Structure 1
Amino acid sequence: MNKFAMYGKLTAHPGQGDALVQMMLEAANLLDSAEGCELYIINVAEDDPDAIWVTELWRDAEAHAESLKNENVLALIQRCRPLIAGVEPVKLRPVGGKGI
Protein backbone atom coordinates (compact mmCIF):
# COMPACT_ATOMS: atom_id res chain seq x y z
CA MET A 1 0.00 0.00 0.00
CA ASN A 2 1.45 3.35 -1.07
CA LYS A 3 -1.10 5.63 0.56
CA PHE A 4 0.08 8.72 2.41
CA ALA A 5 -1.61 10.16 5.48
CA MET A 6 -0.92 13.17 7.60
CA TYR A 7 -2.24 14.81 10.72
CA GLY A 8 -1.45 18.46 10.97
CA LYS A 9 -1.97 20.56 14.08
CA LEU A 10 -2.29 24.25 13.32
CA THR A 11 -2.27 26.50 16.35
CA ALA A 12 -3.88 29.85 15.63
CA HIS A 13 -2.85 33.03 17.36
CA PRO A 14 -5.17 33.58 20.35
CA GLY A 15 -8.71 34.31 19.21
CA GLN A 16 -7.96 33.56 15.55
CA GLY A 17 -9.13 29.92 15.55
CA ASP A 18 -12.50 30.59 13.90
CA ALA A 19 -10.92 32.62 11.11
CA LEU A 20 -8.31 29.92 10.49
CA VAL A 21 -11.00 27.21 10.46
CA GLN A 22 -12.89 29.12 7.76
CA MET A 23 -9.75 29.32 5.62
CA MET A 24 -9.00 25.64 6.14
CA LEU A 25 -12.55 24.83 5.02
CA GLU A 26 -11.74 26.80 1.86
CA ALA A 27 -8.71 24.52 1.46
CA ALA A 28 -10.97 21.49 1.79
CA ASN A 29 -13.19 22.86 -0.97
CA LEU A 30 -10.15 23.43 -3.20
CA LEU A 31 -9.12 19.82 -2.66
CA ASP A 32 -12.54 18.41 -3.65
CA SER A 33 -11.25 18.07 -7.20
CA ALA A 34 -7.58 17.39 -6.36
CA GLU A 35 -6.28 14.26 -8.01
CA GLY A 36 -5.30 11.76 -5.34
CA CYS A 37 -6.90 13.46 -2.31
CA GLU A 38 -9.09 10.84 -0.66
CA LEU A 39 -9.82 12.54 2.66
CA TYR A 40 -9.33 16.04 4.04
CA ILE A 41 -11.10 16.79 7.31
CA ILE A 42 -10.85 19.94 9.43
CA ASN A 43 -11.21 19.31 13.18
CA VAL A 44 -11.20 21.66 16.18
CA ALA A 45 -9.93 20.52 19.56
CA GLU A 46 -12.79 20.51 22.05
CA ASP A 47 -10.65 22.05 24.78
CA ASP A 48 -8.84 24.63 22.64
CA PRO A 49 -10.68 26.56 19.88
CA ASP A 50 -7.35 27.84 18.55
CA ALA A 51 -6.05 24.28 17.89
CA ILE A 52 -7.10 23.03 14.46
CA TRP A 53 -6.29 19.48 13.38
CA VAL A 54 -6.29 18.51 9.71
CA THR A 55 -6.69 14.83 8.83
CA GLU A 56 -5.47 13.96 5.33
CA LEU A 57 -5.39 10.77 3.25
CA TRP A 58 -3.79 10.73 -0.19
CA ARG A 59 -3.37 8.12 -2.91
CA ASP A 60 0.39 8.50 -2.35
CA ALA A 61 2.99 11.02 -1.18
CA GLU A 62 3.45 12.29 -4.72
CA ALA A 63 -0.22 13.30 -4.98
CA HIS A 64 0.14 15.26 -1.75
CA ALA A 65 3.31 16.98 -2.98
CA GLU A 66 1.64 17.84 -6.29
CA SER A 67 -1.28 19.49 -4.47
CA LEU A 68 1.16 21.91 -2.86
CA LYS A 69 2.11 23.21 -6.31
CA ASN A 70 -1.44 24.34 -7.11
CA GLU A 71 -1.51 28.14 -7.38
CA ASN A 72 -4.85 28.42 -5.53
CA VAL A 73 -3.55 26.25 -2.70
CA LEU A 74 -0.34 28.29 -2.51
CA ALA A 75 -2.33 31.54 -2.38
CA LEU A 76 -4.52 30.20 0.42
CA ILE A 77 -1.46 29.08 2.39
CA GLN A 78 -0.12 32.64 2.16
CA ARG A 79 -3.44 34.05 3.41
CA CYS A 80 -3.40 31.62 6.37
CA ARG A 81 0.16 32.35 7.53
CA PRO A 82 -0.63 35.52 9.56
CA LEU A 83 -3.20 33.58 11.61
CA ILE A 84 -0.91 30.66 12.46
CA ALA A 85 1.23 30.66 15.59
CA GLY A 86 2.53 27.11 15.14
CA VAL A 87 2.42 24.02 12.92
CA GLU A 88 3.02 20.42 13.96
CA PRO A 89 2.82 17.98 11.02
CA VAL A 90 2.81 14.22 11.57
CA LYS A 91 3.43 12.24 8.37
CA LEU A 92 2.13 8.67 8.36
CA ARG A 93 2.14 5.52 6.23
CA PRO A 94 -1.25 3.78 6.47
CA VAL A 95 -1.01 0.02 6.73
CA GLY A 96 -4.70 -0.98 6.79
CA GLY A 97 -8.02 -0.63 8.53
CA LYS A 98 -11.59 0.35 7.85
CA GLY A 99 -11.97 2.86 5.03
CA ILE A 100 -8.71 2.05 3.26
Structure 2
Amino acid sequence: MNVNHGFHATMTAQPGQGDKLVEFLLDAPSLTDPDCVVFLVSRSATDPDIVSVTEGWVSREAHGSFFATDAAQRLVADLRSLLAGEPEYTDSVPVGGKPAF
Protein backbone atom coordinates (compact mmCIF):
# COMPACT_ATOMS: atom_id res chain seq x y z
CA MET A 1 0.00 0.00 0.00
CA ASN A 2 1.14 3.52 -0.72
CA VAL A 3 1.24 6.19 1.94
CA ASN A 4 -0.29 9.40 0.65
CA HIS A 5 -0.94 11.22 3.92
CA GLY A 6 0.97 11.29 7.16
CA PHE A 7 2.29 13.26 10.08
CA HIS A 8 4.73 13.22 12.94
CA ALA A 9 3.49 14.23 16.40
CA THR A 10 5.64 14.96 19.44
CA MET A 11 3.93 14.86 22.82
CA THR A 12 5.04 15.50 26.38
CA ALA A 13 3.40 13.30 28.97
CA GLN A 14 2.40 14.49 32.41
CA PRO A 15 5.52 14.17 34.63
CA GLY A 16 6.40 10.51 35.15
CA GLN A 17 3.66 9.28 32.77
CA GLY A 18 5.83 8.53 29.71
CA ASP A 19 5.51 4.75 30.11
CA LYS A 20 1.74 5.04 30.40
CA LEU A 21 1.61 7.25 27.29
CA VAL A 22 3.70 4.77 25.29
CA GLU A 23 1.49 1.87 26.44
CA PHE A 24 -1.63 3.85 25.55
CA LEU A 25 -0.36 4.66 22.04
CA LEU A 26 0.74 1.09 21.36
CA ASP A 27 -2.80 -0.02 22.13
CA ALA A 28 -4.37 2.54 19.75
CA PRO A 29 -7.10 1.26 17.43
CA SER A 30 -5.35 2.80 14.41
CA LEU A 31 -2.81 -0.04 14.68
CA THR A 32 -5.50 -2.42 13.44
CA ASP A 33 -6.96 -0.12 10.78
CA PRO A 34 -5.90 -1.39 7.34
CA ASP A 35 -5.69 2.18 6.00
CA CYS A 36 -3.02 3.07 8.59
CA VAL A 37 0.12 1.55 7.07
CA VAL A 38 2.72 3.24 9.30
CA PHE A 39 2.37 3.73 13.05
CA LEU A 40 5.68 4.16 14.85
CA VAL A 41 5.93 5.16 18.50
CA SER A 42 9.27 6.52 19.74
CA ARG A 43 10.51 8.28 22.84
CA SER A 44 13.30 10.66 23.67
CA ALA A 45 16.55 9.06 24.77
CA THR A 46 17.07 11.86 27.30
CA ASP A 47 13.52 12.56 28.55
CA PRO A 48 11.22 9.54 28.93
CA ASP A 49 8.16 11.79 29.08
CA ILE A 50 8.68 12.99 25.47
CA VAL A 51 7.01 10.59 23.06
CA SER A 52 6.52 10.82 19.32
CA VAL A 53 4.31 9.06 16.79
CA THR A 54 4.79 8.85 13.05
CA GLU A 55 1.69 7.83 11.12
CA GLY A 56 1.19 7.06 7.44
CA TRP A 57 -2.25 6.59 5.89
CA VAL A 58 -3.38 5.56 2.44
CA SER A 59 -5.15 8.92 2.08
CA ARG A 60 -6.15 12.06 3.93
CA GLU A 61 -9.76 10.89 3.61
CA ALA A 62 -9.00 7.53 5.26
CA HIS A 63 -7.30 9.31 8.15
CA GLY A 64 -10.27 11.69 8.50
CA SER A 65 -12.79 8.83 8.37
CA PHE A 66 -10.96 6.94 11.09
CA PHE A 67 -10.78 9.97 13.40
CA ALA A 68 -14.48 10.67 12.87
CA THR A 69 -15.37 7.39 14.61
CA ASP A 70 -16.55 7.26 18.21
CA ALA A 71 -13.63 5.00 19.15
CA ALA A 72 -11.10 7.50 17.80
CA GLN A 73 -12.81 10.42 19.52
CA ARG A 74 -12.65 8.53 22.83
CA LEU A 75 -8.98 7.82 22.15
CA VAL A 76 -8.24 11.51 21.61
CA ALA A 77 -10.11 12.49 24.79
CA ASP A 78 -8.27 9.87 26.85
CA LEU A 79 -4.95 10.86 25.29
CA ARG A 80 -5.34 14.49 26.33
CA SER A 81 -5.53 13.50 30.00
CA LEU A 82 -2.03 11.98 29.74
CA LEU A 83 -0.43 15.06 28.16
CA ALA A 84 1.25 18.03 29.79
CA GLY A 85 0.43 20.28 26.83
CA GLU A 86 -0.60 20.33 23.20
CA PRO A 87 1.18 17.94 20.81
CA GLU A 88 3.34 19.44 18.07
CA TYR A 89 2.46 18.19 14.58
CA THR A 90 4.50 18.18 11.41
CA ASP A 91 2.98 16.91 8.20
CA SER A 92 5.09 14.22 6.62
CA VAL A 93 4.64 11.30 4.30
CA PRO A 94 6.79 8.26 5.04
CA VAL A 95 8.40 7.17 1.77
CA GLY A 96 10.50 4.19 2.74
CA GLY A 97 12.90 2.72 5.20
CA LYS A 98 13.23 -0.37 7.25
CA PRO A 99 11.17 -1.65 10.15
CA ALA A 100 13.12 -1.79 13.39
CA PHE A 101 11.10 -4.60 14.95
TM-score, with length taken from structure 2 = 0.82
What residue is the counterpart of 1:80 in the other structure? 79
Note the residue ranges of structure 2 that are not aligned, 5 or more in a row: none
What residue is the counterpart of 1:7 in the other structure? 8
Per-residue displacement from partner, 1:32-67 (whole Å, max 9, x unpaired)?
Answer: 332421111111111110111001111111111111
CA distance in 2, matches of 1:40, 1:15: 23
Across the aligned residues of Structure 1 and Structure 2, the Cα RMSD in angstroms comes to 1.9
Alignment-mate amino acid for residue 90 of structure 2: V
- Written as runs of structure 1 = structure 2, the 5 A alignment for 1:12-91 is 12-27=13-28, 30-86=29-85, 87-91=87-91
Answer yes or no: is the 8 Å Cα contact 1:12–1:84 preserved in 2.
Answer: yes
Higher strand share: 1
Note the residue ranges of structure 1 that are not aligned, 5 or more in a row: none
Answer yes or no: is the 8 Å Cα contact 2:3–2:37 preserved in 1.
Answer: no
Question: Aligned residues: percent identity?
Answer: 31
After TM superposition, what 4+ stretches of structure 1 lie above 6 angstroms from structure 2? none
CA distance in 2, matches of 1:38, 1:15: 30
TM-score, with length taken from structure 1 = 0.82
Answer yes or no: is the 8 Å Cα contact 1:23–1:76 preserved in 2.
Answer: no
**Shift in alpha-carbon separation, 1:19–1:6, aligned structure 2, 3 A:** same
Alignment-mate amino acid for residue 90 of structure 1: T
SS at match of 1:43: strand
